[in-house]
Each structure stands twice: as C-alpha cells, then as structure tokens.
Amino acid sequence: MNSRRSFLKNVGLATAGLALAPTLDLFAAKKSFFDISLAEWSLHQTLFKGDLKNIDFPELSAKKFGIYGVEYVNQFFKDKAKDMTYLKDLNNRAKDNGVTNVQIMIDGEGNLGDETEAKRLEAVENHYKWIDAAAFLGCKSIRVNAAGKGTPEEVKKHAVESLSTLADYGKKAKINVIVENHGGISSHGDWLSDVLKTVNKKNCGSLPDFGNFYEYDRYQGVTDLMPYAKGVSAKTHDFDAQGNETQIDYMRMMKIVKDAGFKGWVGIEYEGSNLPEVEGIIKTKELLERLKTI
C-alpha cells in the first residue's frame, strides 16, 4: 500500500499548475443553497491504477481540492463493509481532515428489481451490510440502483418491494436509501419518480444525476426527481473556453435544483476523457462555485 506521501505525490497534490485558485474561496463567503461534495468515481482511473487507495480519499479531497464532503463507491473497498478496524481508520481519516462522509454508492450487489424473488431477496440482504457501514461512518445515505428485467410495470413492482424493505432497515440506522437514474428504465424520470412515490417512505428518495438520461430529456428528468432528492450528482464530461459544461446547461440545471427547494450536498462526478481527472474535478468545482448564489 502506498504511503500517504506517495499517494499524494502520485495524484499530483504538490503540482503547482493544478492548484486551486485562492479566489474560489471568496464564493464560500456568500450564502449558498448547496454544499459541494466529491464523488469518488471522479477518480476511478486513478483508483483502478492503484495510485490512490480508498482509505486516502478523504485526505485527498480536502487537501487537493478543498472539498469537505465525500461520496464513497463501494467497489473500491468492497471487502471492507464489515471490517470495523478499516472503517474506524477511514472515519478517523475523514475527521482528521474535517471531511463529512456523505454517502456510499453501491454497485454489484444484485438487482433490486430482479424478476426472480430469490435473487431480489439476496440483493436486498447484500445491501444491509452497506447500510450498517454507512451508519458507522456517519453517512446520511447509501445510493442504490433500481435495475431489473421485464416490463416497466414488472420492474417497478419488484423495485418497490425491495426499496421498501431496504428503507425499513435503513430507518433503524437513520440511513436514507436513495436511487440514482443509472441506466435502463431508471433513466426515465417519470418512471423512477413513480417508483419513489409508490414506496412512499421518508428515507427513500432520489439522487438525480445530470448526465444519466439517454432516451429522456435531462431537464425534465431532474425536474421529475427533485421532489424526492436527498442529494444531487453533478455529472460533467467536457468544458468550453469559458469553463461551461459543453453538454449540460448548468445554469438551467441548478435553477431546477434550487427552485425545488433543495438544500444539501451536490456531488462532483467528473467522467470526461479530454482532461485528466484532477483537472476535470477542479473545472467542475469552479463551475459549481460560480452558481452558488444564483
């Protein structure tokens, strides 16, 4: 495992050319309706290469980017959900750097909308350990997926059953179960909002992702999901010369978020290929900072 010094060097913490402009802090003095967090997936290439370990993510977020809320991805510490020694260390790393653990994004634990009852039950049970881990870390939520095969109505029925069970389990630990528009039928805002309306539990909500609408208007999709939002995923891919996202009208999108009465964490999820991950994260933060007081 890399030492802290090594991992910070590997991801370029000391690189002056990518240092955050100090003027960005001026925006923080103004009152804003949201706080900026960092989704770990923004650094997935760095993590997969081994140049960053999950345990060091909170320190990097604080020291490299000046971001004090983090959103973990379970696949980067998948064998640690029940490892209390590891989770305690991770918690301490966050606290030592003034970082809030916001949520854990869960993938690879089975389809909550699976057509087979046994597989659905297994998927639900696989998520329990992550609710427990999230509670231990002081997170507010776990992000899950409403995936499954069948007609939209069939997947809805199965997803509602699974989400209801998970929400009941999460309620005991004061953990929200939030669903992202993350491909398939879940990327249709009207379908997912209907699922959440049917579940009808206070701790079961949405995580609208600006970028994950493929056959559905993204602005309508976010509008559909914002009444249930317990977080927002600010997806970015590329930027123009003025620092605006080239595929998403961020001013329009953030007005939708604000007009819904949202107050909470907006997580940076840079997924582009034209800029290195560090630069893409910084560009996304700069964009969000400009919109903090719209």
User: Domain range holding 158?
Assistant: 31-290
Which CATH number characterizes residue 130's domain? 3.20.20.150
122-161 pLDDT, tens digit per residue, is 999 999 999 999 999 999 999 999 999 999 999 999 999 9
Q: Is 92 contained in some domain? A: yes
Structure tokens at 197: 């309306």
* Structural contact between residues 143 and 103, judged by C-beta atoms closer than 8 angstroms: yes
Nearest-angstrom CA–CA distance, 160 and 200: 9
In 3D space, the residue among 167, 212, 217, 221 whose CA is nearest the CA of residue 191 turns out to be: 221
* Structural contact between residues 142 and 125, judged by C-beta atoms closer than 8 angstroms: no
Q: Is 114 contained in some domain? A: yes
Q: Is 7 contained in some domain? A: no
The pLDDT value given to residue 31: 81
Q: Is 24 contained in some domain? A: no
Q: Is 62 contained in some domain? A: yes
How many other C-beta atoms are found inside a 10 Å radius of the C-beta of residue 213? 20
CA atoms within 13 A on the CB side of 126: 18
Q: Is 12 contained in some domain? A: no
* Structural contact between residues 233 and 264, judged by C-beta atoms closer than 8 angstroms: no
The pLDDT value given to residue 10: 57
The pLDDT value given to residue 27: 42
Give the residues across from 159 on adjacent strands: none
The pLDDT value given to residue 121: 98
Domains contained in the chain, number: 1
In sequence order, what are the residues at sequence separation of 6 or more whose Cβ sits closer than 8 angstroms to the Cβ of residue 157? none
In 3D space, the residue among 230, 231, 159, 161 whose CA is nearest the CA of residue 188 turns out to be: 159
Q: Is 15 contained in some domain? A: no
In 3D space, the residue among 158, 161, 214, 165 whose CA is nearest the CA of residue 189 turns out to be: 214
Q: Is 123 contained in some domain? A: yes
Residues (pLDDT < 50) of the chain are 1-3, 14-29
